[in-house]
Chain A
Amino acid sequence: MNGKPLLSVRGLTTEFTTPEGKIARALDDVSFDVMPGQTIGLVGESGSGKTTTLMSLMRLLPAGGRITAGRVMFNDINLLSLSEREMRDYRWKSMAIVFQGAMNALNPVMKVGDQIHEAIMLHNLMDEDAAEKRVKDLLEMVGIARTRRDQYPHQYSGGMRQRAMIAMALACAPDLLFADEPTTALDVMIQAQVLELLKEIQKALGLAIVLVTHDLGVVAEVCDSVVVMYGGKVAEYGTADHIYNEAQHPYTQKLLAAFPDVSQPGDTLASIPGTPPRLTNLPPGCRFEPRCHLKIAKCSQVVPPLLEVSPKHYVSCILREGVEADFR
Chain B
Amino acid sequence: MTQAPMLEVRGLYKYFPVHQAFLDSLMRRPHSNVKAVDDVSFTLARGEVLAVVGESGCGKTTIARTLIGLETLTKGEIVFDGKSVNERSQQPHIGLKQLRKRAQMIFQDPYESLNPRSTIFEIVAEPLVVHGLIKDRQERITAVRTALEDAGLRPADDYFTRYPHELSGGQRQRVVIASAMVLQPELLIADEPVSMLDVSIRAEILNLLRDLREKRGISIVFITHDLSTVAYFADRIAVMYLGRIVEIGPAREVLQSPQHPYTKALISVAPVPNPRLRRERVILQGETPNPINLPSGCRFHPRCPVAIDICKENDPQLKELTQSHQAACLLLSK
Chains A and B bind each other = yes
- Bound-complex Cα distance A261 to B276 (A): 14
Chain A residues lying within 8 Å of B270, measured Cβ to Cβ, are 188, 217, 262
Judge if A273 is at the interface, Cβ distance under 8 Å: yes
B255 on the A face (CB < 8 A): yes
The residues in B between 167 and 219 inclusive whose CB is less than 8 angstroms from any CB of A are: 168-170, 198-204, 206-207
B283 part of interface (Cβ distance < 8 Å) = yes
Chain B min CB distance to A44 (Å): 9
**A188/B227 contact (C-beta < 8 A), A217-B271, A255-B200, A259-B273 known:** yes
Please give the distance in Å from A180's CB to the nearest CB on chain B. Answer: 16
Interface range for A? 35 or more
| Category for how many chain B residues contact A | 35 or more
A46 proximal to B (CB < 8 A)? yes
The complex places the Cα of A259 from the Cα of B202 at a distance, in Å, of 9
**B225 neighbours in A (Cβ, 8 Å):** 187-188
- Indicate whether A216 reaches chain B with its CB closer than 8 angstroms: yes
Kindly state the separation between the CA atoms of A271 and B211 in the bound complex, as whole angstroms: 13
* Contact A266 to B231, CB < 8 A, known contacts A216-B199, A272-B200, A275-B170: yes
Binding stretch for chain A, among B92-100, B261-269, B322-330: B261-269
Q: Is A28 engaged at the interface, CB distance under 8 Å to the other chain?
A: no
A269 touches which of B203, B265, B273 (Cβ 8 Å)? B203
Beta-carbon nearest neighbor of A258 in chain B:
B203
State how many angstroms separate the Cβ of B188 from the closest Cβ of chain A: 19
Q: Do residues B232 and A266 form an inter-chain contact, with CB atoms below 8 A?
A: yes
User: In the complex the two chains form, is A259's CB within 8 Å of B269's CB?
Assistant: no
Q: Which of B169, B252, B273, B278 contacts A261 (CB 8 A)?
A: B273
Residues of chain A from 28 to 82 with CB closer than 8 A to chain B in the complex? 45-46
* C-alpha gap A80/B265 in the complex (Å): 46
A266 CB contacts on chain B under 8 angstroms: 231-232, 252
Decide yes or no whether A281 CB sits under 8 A from chain B. Answer: no
* In contact, A46 and B198 (Cβ under 8 angstroms): yes
Q: Are B55 and A217 in contact (CB under 8 A)?
A: no
| B271 contacts A221, C-beta separation under 8 Å | yes
What are 29 of the A-B contact pairs (CB < 8 Å)? Answer: A45-B200, A45-B201, A46-B169, A157-B287, A187-B56, A188-B55, A188-B226, A189-B283, A192-B281, A193-B283, A217-B273, A220-B271, A220-B274, A220-B277, A221-B271, A223-B275, A241-B275, A244-B275, A258-B203, A259-B273, A260-B229, A262-B267, A263-B277, A266-B231, A267-B232, A268-B207, A269-B207, A270-B203, A275-B168
Q: Which chain A residues have a beta carbon within 8 Å of chain B's beta carbons?
A: 45-46, 157, 159, 187-193, 196, 214-218, 220-221, 223, 240-241, 244-245, 254-256, 258-263, 265-273, 275
Known A46-B169, A192-B281; 18 more pairs at CB < 8 Å: A45-B199, A188-B55, A188-B226, A216-B199, A216-B273, A220-B271, A220-B278, A240-B275, A245-B276, A258-B199, A259-B228, A260-B231, A261-B273, A262-B270, A262-B272, A265-B230, A265-B252, A268-B207
Interface residues of B (CB under 8 A from A): 55-56, 168-170, 198-204, 206-207, 225-232, 251-252, 255, 265-267, 269-278, 281, 283-285, 287
